[in-house]
Each structure stands twice: as C-alpha cells, then as structure tokens.
Amino acid sequence: MKPVLMCCSVSVDFDGFYALQGADLKVYPHEVRFLIGPNGAGKTTLLDVICGKTRASSGKVLFYSHDITDMPEHKIVQLGISRKFQSPSIFHQLTVWENMELALKQDRGLFAVLRAKMSEADRDMIITLLQRIELLDYADQKAGSLSHGQKQWLEIGMQLIQFPQLLLLDEPIAGMSAAERERTGELIHEIARDCAVVIVEHDMDFVRRFSKQVTVMHEGKVLCEGTMEDIQQNEKVVEIYLGREEKAC
Amino acid sequence: MIKKNWMYWMFFLALFLAPFYLTEFRLSLLGKFLCFAMIAIGISLIWGYTGILSLGHGVYFGLGAYCMAMYLKLEASGGRLPDFMEWSGVNNLPWFWKLFEHPIISISSAIIVPVLLAMFLSYFTFRNRIKGVYFSLLSQAIVVVFVTLFIGKQEWTGGTNGLTNFSTVFGFSLSSPLTQIVLYLLTVVLLLSMFLFSRWLTRSRFGRVLVAIRDSENRVRFLGFNPTTYKVFVYSLSAAFAGIAGAMFVLQVGLISPAMMGIIPSIEMVLWVAVGGRSSLIGAIIGAIVTNGAKSFFSENYPDIWLLFLGGLFIAVVLFLPNGLAGVYQSVKQRKKQGEVRANEASSHVLQRVSRF
Ligand SMILES: Nc1ncnc2c1ncn2[C@@H]1O[C@H](COP(=O)(O)OP(=O)(O)O)[C@@H](O)[C@H]1O
Ligand SMILES: [Mg+2]
C-alpha cells in the first residue's frame, strides 16, 4: 500500500538548535498513528513541518506523490492535510456556526468566497457535524464563550468538515474531562474510516486505550515504532520515556 | 429588513433632504464631512473588520483629490499654462498633466492611482507577513514620502499651496448653488453605495473571513485561505473609497494641498472611526460627521480652546467608549432587549429551537 505521508530525514534548525535531526515517518491510509515522546522531543515541530508552519532545513515531505516541503500553508490545506493546534485556535469573535462555515471544504479564492452561498447540503453537513461534536445547541454562540473542552471539539469539527485525507492532531484531549476524552477517542476512530490521522498525545492511558501503531520520538529523531506492547518492551524507550514516567507516577 | 433598519434609511433620507433645510454654508460643510465619512467606511473595513491599522489614508485621499484637481485646474486655465507653473518658470505643460485634460482619465485616475499605490504597498508587506505596528509605521512613511514629494515638486503640484482657484466643472460654475447641490447629492449617492456595498461585504462569508483574519491570521491560513489576497483586496478597496472621497472633496471645497494629506489628517481619519465605533459601518460614518461637526462648532465658537475640546473628546472615547458611539447604542439596545427576553423567556427559547430546523 502507498503511504499517505512520507517524511524523509527531516531536520529543522532553530538558529543552531536542531529541534528535528533527520526524522522519518510513514503513515498509511486509514491509520491512526500516535506520536509520543518526552517534552521537547520534536513532536509538535514535526507536525509544523508537515503542515508548512515551520520549514524543514533539510529533508523532504511527500503527501502521496506531491512534494509539499516548500508549499505555502494554504495550498497544503487545499491538498487535504488539516491540522489541529495544541492550544485551541478557533475564531473567538465568530459564532460556532460561522467557524464551521469557514472550515467547509470550498473554493477559498477571493471571488468564489464573495459569491459563496450556503447550500442546503452545506447546511445539513454543518448540522450533522455539530450534532456529532455535541455543539448544535451552541451554534449561535460566539466561539470565545465555549468551555475549553468544547473549543477543542469545535476545532476537531472544523477539521472534520474539511474531509481531509490526513488529519494532524496535537494533544487534542488536553483540558478535557474523562467522559470527553472517551468520546474524543471514539471520534478519532470514526474519523479514521475516511482518513489517516497522526496524533500527538501525552496521556499514556489514552494512548494505551486507543492506539494501534505508536511512534516514539526522542531528541528530534524517531526512536522506534510499533504497538504499545512492543514499545513498552523496548529498553531504550523504557529508559528515556516510559521508565521516567513510571518513576514519576 | 426595511423595518429593522429604518434608522439607517431615516438617516440617509435626512442627508438627501439636507438641501431643503440647511443653509448654503452648512450644506457645503456637510458635503465635506460626507467625503470624510467615505474614508471612514474604508477604515472601518480594514481596521474594524480586518484588524489592519493604516495611518496613511491621507495619501489615498490626497491622490484622488489631486487627480480631480488637475482636471479642474486645466479647465480653469482655459488652454493656458496653470498659474503656478508660470510662476515656477515652466514653459510647457508636462506630458502627464496633458492626460488630465480628459475628464474620463481624470476621474478614473482618482480611483486607479490610489488603488495601485495601495495594492503595491499592501501586496509586498502582507505577502512578507509584515503586520501590526510595522505596517502602521510603513503607511506613515508613505505619507511622509508623498507630502515631501508634493511640496518639493512645486512646478508640477503647486507646492505647499496645492491646487486651487478652480472655476468650472464640465462648464458648470463651481460657485453656483445649484452645482453645489448637485455635487452634494452625488456625494450622498456615492456614500450610500459605498455603505450598502460594504454592508453586503461584511455580512457575506467574505466578511467572516475578514473577521477571522483579525482574530487569528495564521488559523485562516490553516483553513486553506490565503490571507494576503483578502487583505490586499480590502486595503485597496479602502484606498478606492478614499480616492473617491478626495475627488468629491476637491469639487466641493475647491482646494487640495499637501497639508490635507499629511500625517495629522491621516491620524485624524482613524480617530473619526474610533469615535464612531470601528466595527460598525454606520458608526464610522456618524463618527466622521460628529467629530468634524464638533471640530467646526468649537473652532467657530471657541477659537482659542477648540483643540482642547477635541483632544478631550478623543481621550474620553478611548478611555470610556472602546466601541465608540456605536458601542453605546448597541449596549442600550441590548439592555432593552434583555428586559424583554426575561419577560417571555420560555416562549422565545422554544421558538428559537423550532426556527433553527
Ligand atoms: N520556534 C522555535 N524556536 C526555537 N526553538 C524551538 C521553537 N519551537 C520549538 N523549539 C524547540 O524545539 C524543541 C522541540 O519542540 P517541540 O516540537 O514543541 O516538542 P514537543 O512537541 O515534542 O514537546 C524544544 O526544545 C523546543 O524548545
Ligand atoms: Mg508539543
């Protein structure tokens, strides 16, 4: 099977500090890939490189057969890669409904948007998705007034309505209650029926519960890959990461 | 819609009827203020909606005014060299002045020249992601460049005195009351069109993209929009409004000089919008009229201390009315509505739910 995403020895140089030092990653269709690793391992930076927020100083990023290493952010999104940031970044001054409206998969050119009308199908789609993320009752509220967990869901909803082929999630369950976490985990697996997901997560219980393939990062490199069981057996991982965490617990 | 917005329509109706109830002098003042209101609409679009603070709109206003003034000057000179050129020892009309013998060229340049400058400036800054204070400073630098240029090139621009002493437009005397009334009405029509067009813009999906850019430009990028295109468009649109305002200003006031497009006027333009309420189009219009009205009133009646009054007004607005006059109106309305809602809360909740589906 052809990978959706291929990162080939990607390095990122922040004025002499290498946040990524030749990271490799392959993600296949319908996969839910968890990225774990201690703080500062470079997980967020890797997602930033994939979505174009940060530029790789060397290496390549391929999305199917497109080389997206130097592509502008909005073009990468238009190809079908969508990104959820670590801190919820929705538009606080717009209503929940308007946030979803902007996220709709559409022609984002100026003149197309000037003429854009909300079609019946779009309206139904937004209603369905708002129901799924349990925000339909808040449709007319300013997004800034939502709770932290609701903001996270709204942002996930805004990714879903784009029907991306690759979804990048950075710590999506931060600040959520146990029930919300459970629901988010299920949501992520529902999503994976239609697209590949790369998800950065710190919460090990959540990873255990919802992961199949896990990639461990350390000091800007990929340390190893496998199921959670494989990884827990890996001595290096235990040493740098799990071991340390278990000690802390 | 008509019922809900009857206040807007009353306002514009009052403007249309002004020639019946204002003296010639007051009408010409109002005409001038309405030109300023056009600039205010544009600034509300870029600042209030999109979050771009331009402190350089005097230039776009000035360029529009000069383009129109060049035509008027040539018409007043009746085929001879304009007076200031003779004084500066110029013998032949420069080639670019010749173009402005044609009214079509002159009127269209009053829009095109400011728009081209705005596109050039905004494309290169926004594409390079220069934002916020840096952009504001850059827009000020443009003002300095143009004012210096216009003062320095006296033989082409009339220098510090600017362009004045016009007599006719298309053969109609500019000093006749009838011409002035026609020009005034044209100003109201233009203002109304700009208002309606901007209102349509801000209420469409396009308007939501603008607000989203103000909220978080990066996030807009990651929804697949290119904010640069949107910012350049709306910035250039505001320059077009300012250019048209300049042309109408010259026709009614009969004078344009570098001092009117300088740094102080450019900052004043932003203040009108702050007074009226930057994210309200009607607020911006009213802000321009009220601020300039107060300015004339104070300068007529208290010539010694009017600047203090004006300064006080601005400080009061900035400190106590962050959303300007429009914000005051909104909160009064809200309070009234809240009272009503509490009265029949239960029924309205049910209705809201039903109407959504
Ligand atoms: N813009 C930046 N400039 C300099 N250093 C950065 C920048 N962004 C991240 N870093 C550094 O790069 C390293 C990796 O960061 P990050 O990718 O956020 O780690 P993670 O998400 O795995 O916790 C950290 O040491 C961080 O301090
Ligand atoms: Mg991180």
Does residue A111's CB lie within 6 angstroms of at least one atom of ligand 1? no
The tens digit of pLDDT for each residue in A202-213 reads 888 898 888 888
Task: State the pLDDT at residue A32.
Answer: 92
Alpha-carbon distances, residue B230 vs B114, B209, B221 (angstroms): 18, 8, 11
Q: What is the pTM of this model?
A: 0.89
Average pLDDT, chain A: 90
Q: The domain containing residue A79 runs over which residues?
A: 5-248
Please answer yes or no on whether B205 and A78 come within 8 Å at the CB atom.
no
> Cα–chain-centroid distance for residue A231?
22
CATH number at residue A222: 3.40.50.300
Exposed, middle or buried by CB within 10 Å (0-12, 13-18, 19+), for A239? exposed
Residue B332 CA to residue B125 CA, distance in Å, equals 40
- The residue among B278 and A49 whose pLDDT is bigger is A49
Q: What is the ipTM of this complex?
A: 0.87
Q: Which residues of A144-156 are buried (b: 16+ CB within 10 A; e: fewer)?
A: eebeebbbbbbbb
Residue A241 has pLDDT above 50, yes or no: yes
Q: Name residue, tokens 């007076």.
A: B83
Ligand nearest to the CA of A36: 1
Residue B99 CA to residue B285 CA, distance in Å, equals 34
- The residue among B143 and A2 whose pLDDT is bigger is B143
Q: What are phi and psi of B80, to 5 degrees?
A: -90, 175
Does residue A40's CB lie within 6 angstroms of at least one atom of ligand 1? yes
**Chain B contact for A145, CB < 8 A?**
no
A44 CA to chain B: closest CA distance, Å? 15
Task: State the pLDDT at residue A230.
Answer: 86
Protein residue with least CA distance to atom 24, ligand 1: A40
Q: Name residue, tokens 């250039």.
A: B236
**Chain A contact for B355, CB < 8 A?**
no
Q: Which residues of A touch B230 (CB under 8 A)?
A: 110
Please answer whether residues B31 and B64 qualify as being in contact, where contact means their C-beta atoms are separated by less than 8 angstroms.
Answer: no
Query: pLDDT in tens for each of the 357 residues of chain B?
Result: 455 678 889 999 999 999 999 999 999 999 999 999 999 999 999 999 999 999 999 999 999 999 999 999 999 998 889 999 988 888 899 999 999 999 999 999 999 999 999 999 999 999 999 988 999 999 999 999 999 999 999 999 999 999 999 988 888 888 899 999 999 999 999 999 999 999 999 999 999 999 999 999 989 999 999 999 999 999 999 999 999 999 999 999 999 999 999 999 999 999 999 999 988 999 999 999 999 998 888 888 887 887 787 788 778 887 888 888 888 888 888 887 776 656 554 444 434 443 443
Please answer yes or no on whether B221 and A108 come within 8 Å at the CB atom.
no
Compute how many other C-beta atoms are within 10 angstroms of the C-beta atom of residue A184: 21
Protein residue with least CA distance to atom 4, ligand 1: A14
Percent of all residues in chain A with a pLDDT value above 70, rounded to a whole number: 96
Q: A68 alpha carbon to ligand 1 midpoint, in Å?
A: 21
Domain tally, chain A: 1
